[in-house]
Amino acid sequence: MAAGGDAGVGPAPACLCVLCGLPATGKSTLARTVLSTAAQRGWRATAVTYDDLIPEQAFRAREAEDGGEDAHTEWKLHRQAVLQCLEQFMKEPEVLNELPSKCQITGAAWEQCIRALLQPEALDHSQADQAPLLFLLDDNFYYPSMRYEVYQLARKYSLGFCQVYLHCDLESCISRNQSRSEPIPTEVILDMVKRLESPNPQKNPWETKSILLNTTDNLSKCDIQRVMQLISSALSNPLSPVEDNTEQKESDRLKCATSVVHQADQACRRLISEAMKTARESQVPSEHMRSVAAQLNESKATFLHNLRIQLLQETSLTQEEDLDVERVVKRAVDVFDHEKREILGRIINDH
């Protein structure tokens, strides 16, 4: 971001604040309250609402084809486009109407999003240049990898970064959602419950500046105060860009591959246990059960070895959060499940 006009005066601090949680937990309500409070403090603030910025057809495609590679790739491109627009604003805050080339977000929504930042009504020009900038990113952000992309952007431009995780009981989420003018299908929310991974500073040190708000009841003044204190702390402690470190990248790559293989191994063990139970129920002779176990374990060992090699050689990543681990594990285990079925089918048919 460009520095202020006065000599010796640095640029205004800026913060990317992630609001995450299930649909209808109150993220938009919180955003409106925080924007009002920020304005009272003389900050320039705006809500980056993914529901408004990403075209509706992308949401429909994601809901209808979830699990399909094309739908997943297109969905990820739309999300990345939001961050591309934010990055362009960081580099050229005076640019309003120009979006990055081939940008896949709604231009009118983006203009409305940043208009308040460029034309603060309550501040004169000199004050506006030095007023803190606050971006409230309003989305579900159910995977850590989604939130980590925001963290990377904040780190690249030495911005503040923090997260507010809104949680309320599932029954309340569904009830609130159904009262909306355009409710999300309940099955989408139920599926998201299985996927959602809340901020975990113990596992991910980059999520240290995170708080949880229980929004089953209405937000309290104390809740808003906690959020503002979190944002103020992030503004006062911007991230520092990390130098390119090839050795560290290779270490991170190995760590990520090990994590994926470990999770895949646990899932494969469960599949083998299920296969052995099926073999017994199918009355496979006891003298052949040892052969069943040996074939399945040999297949598992070969599968995990090949998976590890593939991850180390073909996957480009620098941090575990860069990879959608759950998705990779599920896709890999589906392959082994197919092999398990073939082995079990041959043995049962032979006996």
Contact by Cβ (8 Å): 79, 30: no
Question: What domains appear along the chain, each with residue ranges and CATH number?
Answer: 14-236 (3.40.50.300), 246-350 (no CATH)
Share of the chain above pLDDT 90, in %: 30
* 1 touches 135 (CB < 8 A): no
Amino acid at 23: P
Phi/psi of residue 136, nearest 5 degrees: -95, 110
Tokens of 341: 């079925």
Task: Evaluate if residue 2 carries a pLDDT over 50.
Answer: no
Residue 34: the pLDDT is: 96
Cα dihedral sign for 320, 321, 322, 326?
Answer: positive
pLDDT at 183 over 90: no
Q: Which stretches within the chain are classed as H helix?
A: 27-40, 50-53, 56-64, 69-91, 107-118, 125-130, 144-156, 170-178, 186-195, 221-236, 246-281, 286-314, 325-350
CA end-to-end span of the chain, whole Å? 72
Question: How far apart, in whole angstroms, are the C-alpha atoms of residue 222 and residue 226?
Answer: 6
Interaxial angle between packed helices 186-195 and 170-178, expressed in degrees from 0 to 180 and rounded to the nearest 10: 150
Q: Which of 29-38, 58-67, 223-232, 305-314 has the lowest mean pLDDT?
A: 58-67
**Lowest pLDDT segment from 217-226, 293-302, 323-332:** 323-332
Task: Identify the helix (H) or strand (E) that includes residue 167.
Answer: strand 160-167
